[in-house]
Structure 1
Amino acid sequence: MVKIITKSGLLDYLPTIEAMEAKVAEIIKGKSAEEIWFLEHKPVYTAGTSAVESDLIESNFPVHKVGRGGKYTYHGPGQRIAYFMLELKNHYNPPDLKKFVCDLEQWVIDSLKD
């Protein structure tokens, strides 16, 4: 069963990511249940692998390099973030990341219709 966790307050980016990575390691080892976290970060920019420093004209917030593709992404108050920590083989046979992302997209669309 997937555990849903809603975290309150504004969270620092790095400690949150570190906690998420530790949780994923436990899930992979079978030592923890799958989780989905809903939270908000304190103002921060994440810099993807295509980020060019000169593109960020002014940064009043911390910038953290991350391993995802793309350029800069802002996270901050009022922007609800969902972190999915799932073992896809428990939900798809065979595990299918593309199908998961498509299903997630449809779920968001359906949720926002209401």
Structure 2
Amino acid sequence: RRLRELCLDDEFWKLLSFENSQWYQSLQNRRSIFRPLAERNGDTSHHDTMQINGDAGSSPTNAIYQDDFPTTCSLTNRSRKLQDMANWDPVFPGERVSWYDEYVQRHGPTCVNWLQTPRLYDCGAGA
């Protein structure tokens, strides 16, 4: 029962539905087109304080601070993703949605078996 609750977690399946949605993929494509060339190449203007100062052992608190907490750039990316997810969410207030079923219906494989092949029995009687 506990495993079922874990596997059918609505937030997990909602995130998967969002990340695999055509809307989000086209939004990412549009953003990548208009993103500046320097940002596309991974050239950022902020560096670690240890790289700027050149002395790695002089400020251990700065190293701990930078390792433990997210940078400003990652916070803006996270907030942008949350905002995109809020804009994408097709659910009306008060509506209950099974995001697992929604994901399977949108992204699951399509299998249609219109005709069944006849079974032949060993007794000699066939259908």
Greater RCO between the two (CA within 8 Å, min separation 6)?
Answer: 2
TM-score of the pair, normalised by structure 2: 0.22
Higher helix share: 2
TM-score of the pair, normalised by structure 1: 0.24
Higher strand share: 1
